[in-house]
Amino acid sequence: MALYNFSSSIEDHPALQNHPRFRRIIRDLRYGIHTSATKTSEFYSRQGPVNRILLVIAGLAFLTIIVLFAIYRESVLELLVSFADALRALQYGPFILGGLVVGVSFPPLIGYSMLSSLCGMMYGFWGWPLLAGSTVLGSMLSFLACRFLFKDYALRLARSNAKFAALTGTMQGDGIWLLMMIRLCPLPYSLSNGALASVHTISVWRFGLATAMATPKLFLHIFVGDRLVKITTETDPAAKVINIISMSLAIILGPVTAYLIYIKTVERVEQNEAYQAVELENSTSLDPERDSFDIEDEDFENQR
């Protein structure tokens, strides 16, 4: 919770009293940190002894991987760069990478972020058209498959996750902008494709357009992959430090920005829910048949 306390001290700093917008951003960040910590604690407390042990082992394994990467990062990066160079040298390298991106678009497959960074390692910023096109194509194919072939699975997927349930629950009849905001949220790529397919009012073309409008966020993955190559091949120590700092900032600020977008999207969804509830109440109160039924019911009670 050190980051939470630090953000709290920043928000209360006297220099920010005249900057309400920046203070609101800090407050949203604090809310996200607090919510994540609370949900993590609740999830862990609900687990049985065996699952708790497995979670601890998984956490230690992840920490070990990070430590090993920090120690042998140069060897690991050189291996990754060599693999990217070998794949780029192939005649059908772009088709192979694009096919892999399309493949992991189907739930519950994973690996999209890794392939996105690999695209940046192979082609730099020129790899964005390939990644964006493959993402839109894969998303639409996954959407169609979940809509027409795996309907029950898509519905279970939308209800199995609190984020999916909150975001897809009020998508009926909403505009393209809210759908695009959902595509910008930090949701698992393949799973969100399947979950959104359960909303029958979203057409495949509308879904594809929203996905295409959200593809500028892929520049983050491209940038990280491009910096990884430069860190490995750069000989100037100062330039290497700059690349490391810029990549670290991108890795940190990217998820934070995405989570802030998610918070704003949830607020928009909650506003839609409140608006729909008011509309339903008004339509019910103006229903003549219901009013006449209520009057008849009151007369019947008075006669009794």
Question: What's the chain's average pLDDT?
Answer: 74
Residues 56 and 189 in one domain: no
Residues 171 and 212 in one domain: yes
How does pLDDT run across 46-81, given as a tens digit for each residue? 878 888 888 888 888 878 877 877 787 778 778 888
- 227/38 Cα distance (integer angstroms): 34
Residues 129 and 62 in one domain: no
pTM, entire model:
0.63
Is 118 inside any structural domain? yes
Is 224 inside any structural domain? yes
Residues 117 and 240 in one domain: yes
- 235/187 Cα distance (integer angstroms): 37
Residues 200 and 220 in one domain: yes
Residues 66 and 198 in one domain: no
Residues 109 and 53 in one domain: no
- 143/50 Cα distance (integer angstroms): 36
Helix (H) or strand (E) holding 281: helix 237-285
Residues 171 and 271 in one domain: yes
pLDDT at 187: 74
Is 175 inside any structural domain? yes
Residues 239 and 111 in one domain: yes
Residues 106 and 249 in one domain: yes
Number of domains composing the chain: 2
Range(s) of the domain holding residue 179: 90-279
pLDDT at 4: 46
Is 286 inside any structural domain? no
Q: Give the type of residue at 200.
A: H
Is 142 inside any structural domain? yes
Residues 178 and 55 in one domain: no
3-state secondary structure of 90: coil
Is 230 inside any structural domain? yes
Asked if residue 294 has pLDDT above 60, the reply is no
Contact status, residue 182 vs residue 265, Cβ threshold 8 Å: yes
Q: Give the type of residue at 97.
A: L
Is the previous residue joined to 49 through a cis bond, with omega within 30 degrees of 0? Answer: no
**Tokens for 16?**
């920010």
- 184/218 Cα distance (integer angstroms): 10
Asked if residue 301 has pLDDT above 60, the reply is no
